Homo-oligomer: A and B are copies of this chain.
Amino acid sequence: MNNYMAVVEYDGSDFCGFQIQPGNIRTVQGELLGVLEKVLCQKIKLGYAGRTDAGVHARNQVINFRVIKDLDTYRFRWSINSLLPDDITLKEVREAGSDFDARRSAKRRDYCYYVVNDNYQSVFLKKYSILVTGMLEIEKMREAAKNFIGVHDFSSFCSPSVMEENTIRHVYDFNIEKNDNLVTFRISANSFLYNMVRKIVGTLLEIGRGQNSPDSIKKALSSGEQGLSGKMVPAKGLFLDRVMY
């Protein structure tokens, strides 16, 4: 069996998330498996770097799968893309070492979250960002974001349903940029807890609006209490941007 990796881009708007689900539910994994199994005429088991939620987008999701025959990766990619729906595309396919596992081999994942800070929502960004109308204090959010960098217990910044897992994560980097009216939150970590980015961005937006101080992050991190983090922001502003191996 040959092990292949592929880089996948998808618009999450019309998917119930990445992971396949029982019943007639549209998922990225379901669409990919349908086309891969049809073209390859074999059962496929799909590894993937990030299990994105319903509505979350990906620029460079990474998957891997084992194939009986040798593939001409360039032609294979074109034939897969011709069968995939309009909202998924394979950007790249290549042979991977036999040990490669899209999830377990990943060293770092980068997510972006987009906020339009203006008094109107752009028709072009509506599906890919949220609108915040009051002027956000970018510097305060940057100051607060620094507190997330490093190794921390993120139990106050995830969905309560994952409280029993190991909630320690290593955040490598956190940048907040503002270009014109678009605020981009870019966060890198070894891996992320369920809803972690959306909880973190929600907390920072409260600070950007002046409803909380940058120092509040320290307390939330050290206490591990759910009540000390902000509201979770909607999925549509979130992109899995890159996975590093």
Binding site for B on A (CB under 8 A): 9-11, 57, 59, 74, 77, 81, 86-91, 119-124, 126, 128
Contacts and interface: CB of A to CB of B under 8 A. Distances in A.
B123 A10 contact: yes
Contacts of A59: 124
A9 B123 contact: yes
A120 B86 contact: no
Contact of A88 (B57, B87, B119, B123): B123
A90 B120 CA distance: 8
B9 A124 contact: yes
A117 B18 CA distance: 28
A89 B123 contact: yes
A226 to B, nearest CB: 34
Nearest to A78: B119
Given A86-B126, A126-B86, A120 B11 contact: no
A126 B89 CA distance: 11
Q: Interface centre among A11, A86, A88, A123, by most B CB within 10 Å? A: A123
A123 B86 contact: yes
Contacts of A81: 120
Contact of A11 (B9, B88, B119, B124): B124
Q: Which 8 A-B pairs have the closest CB atoms?
A: A11-B123, A89-B123, A9-B123, A87-B123, A91-B120, A89-B120, A10-B123, A9-B122
Contacts of A90: 120
Q: Interface centre among A9, A11, A87, A124, by most B CB within 10 Å? A: A124
18 contacts: A9-B123, A9-B124, A10-B123, A11-B123, A11-B124, A57-B124, A59-B124, A74-B119, A81-B120, A86-B123, A86-B126, A87-B123, A88-B123, A89-B120, A89-B121, A89-B123, A90-B120, A124-B128
Given A11-B123, A74-B119, A87-B123, 12 more contacts: A9-B122, A9-B124, A10-B123, A11-B124, A57-B124, A77-B120, A81-B120, A86-B126, A88-B123, A89-B120, A91-B120, A124-B128
